[in-house]
Amino acid sequence: MTKADLVEAVHARVGLSKKESAELVQFVLEEIKRALARGEGVKISGFGHFMVLERAARVGRNPKTGEEIRIAPRKAVVFRPSPVLRRRVEGDEA
């Protein structure tokens, strides 16, 4: 599913114009991005939880040479689905 598919779904279900639907979808996505950039988690009931995790620095290896390299600390966005979404994906709930 793409952003265009989301816009089309909002347009069909809510009845907003395509332009208004596109603006609404873009606004929601921008708010999620802003919250994650601030390091805040985003919980969407019945869907899941987006959060930012701090990954510690570590030592890795170059697979070709076997040489050790230092991997810098970083932040990563992770998603944990809600139990409701997990059940639906597994087919236990329609």
Token pair for 36:
């994650």
Confidence of residue 92 (pLDDT cuts 50, 70, 90): confident
Residue 30 shares a structural domain with residue 46: no
Full DSSP string of 21-42: HHHHHHHHHHHHHHHHHTT--E
Residue 17 shares a structural domain with residue 45: no
Sheet holding 42-44, edge to edge: 42-44, 48-55, 74-81
pLDDT given for residue 94 in this prediction: 54
pLDDT in tens, 27-82: 999 999 999 999 999 999 999 999 999 999 999 999 999 999 999 999 999 999 99
Residue 48 shares a structural domain with residue 11: no
Which CATH number belongs to the domain containing residue 8 in this structure? 4.10.520.10
Count how many domains the chain has: 2
What is the average pLDDT value for the chain, to the nearest integer? 94
Residue 51 shares a structural domain with residue 93: yes
Structural domain boundaries enclosing 2 = 1-38
The burial of 35, by beta-carbon neighbours within 10 Å (0-12 exposed, 13-18 middle, 19 or more buried), is given as middle
Residue 55 shares a structural domain with residue 67: yes
